[in-house]
Amino acid sequence: MKFFIDTANLDQIREAMDLGILDGVTTNPSLMAKEGISGTKNIYAHYKKICKLVDGGDVSAEVIATDYKGIIEEGKKLSDLSENIVVKVPMIKDGVKAISYFTDHGISTNCTLVFSAGQAILAAKAGATYLSPFIGRVDDITWDGIKLIEEIASIYSMQGYMTEILAASIRSPLHIVQAAKAGADVVTCPLSSIMGLLNHPLTDIGLAKFLEDHHKLNS
């Protein structure tokens, strides 16, 4: 399973890269706004900085346009920024049509804002590289985000679809483990959830005891 970080914050991307486990980055307009980046020129420059940091890893950059022509124009510009760019397109009618176009023209895509198996089938038929079901937001309305990943994974495997399931809207380390068990190909997570995977009290207790025993005879 690939690990992406879900942020536009350069320090957090650096920190995750430093751990040696990062395969890519996902962003969205809200995450870009959170970093205070505005204006097309600045936004594109920021994507370039992210691409440089991740050293060949995939970087999802989302289109703002919602009409077919606009999505194609914007997607091409984003794709031209770097080889790493994956054009993120919302699961809407013109978005699906645009994903088909990008697929035919060798441009990688991430179909975002996915909340149902039906949407997942459409995105795969259009040839999306990645599919982003938002599991945390499904949980928010008391449905089951992990069950959605399981359902999509089972359909994709049965039908032989090549689209990779990118579990998004991850809110905790437990979500990461559950997404892995449910068959996600990729998880995109906040830094806190990635780092949360490190924690276990028995590791801390065990390490303290090992060091104490060592120092008894070696100080």
Instruction: Return the number of the residue (46 or 137) whose C-beta is nearest ligand G3P.
Output: 137
Instruction: Return the number of the residue (33 or 211) whose C-beta is nearest ligand G3P.
Output: 33
201: Cβ contacts below 8 Å, ≥ 6 apart: none
Residue with tokens 């980055």: 25
188 binds ligand G3P (CB under 6 A): yes
Active-site residue (options: 69, 88, 97, 209): 88
Name residues contacting ligand G3P, limited to 150-179 (CB under 6 A). 168-169
Please state, in angstroms and rounded to a whole number, the distance separating the CA atoms of residues 192 and 194. Answer: 6
User: Considering CB under 6 A, how many residues would be counted as binding ligand G3P?
Assistant: 10
Instruction: Return the number of the residue (68 or 92) whose C-beta is nearest ligand G3P.
Output: 92
Measured from the CB of residue 28, what is the shortest distance to ligand G3P in angstroms? 5
216 assigned to active site: no
62 binds ligand G3P (CB under 6 A): no
The three-state secondary structure class of 7 is: coil
- Ramachandran category for residue 183: left, alpha or beta (phi over 0 → left; psi -120 to 50 → alpha): left
Q: What DSSP string describes 179-210?
A: HHHHT-SEEEE-HHHHHHTT--HHHHHHHHHH
Site track for ligand G3P across 5-34, x = CB under 6 A: -x-------------------x-x--x---
58 binds ligand G3P (CB under 6 A): no
3 binds ligand G3P (CB under 6 A): no
CA 32 from centre of chain:
14
154: Cβ contacts below 8 Å, ≥ 6 apart: 183
The tokens of 7 are what? 């942020």
Instruction: Return the number of the residue (73 or 92) whose C-beta is nearest ligand G3P.
Output: 92
Residue with tokens 């997404």: 179
Name residues contacting ligand G3P, limited to 109-148 (CB under 6 A). 134, 136-137
Measured from the CB of residue 169, what is the shortest distance to ligand G3P in angstroms? 3
Please state, in angstroms and rounded to a whole number, the distance separating the CA atoms of residues 175 and 181. Answer: 10
The tokens of 9 are what? 């914050």
Q: Rounded to a whole number, what is the largest CA-CA distance in the chain? A: 73
Residues interacting with ligand G3P, by CB under 6 A?
A: 6, 26, 28, 31, 134, 136-137, 168-169, 188
Which residues are marked as active site? 88
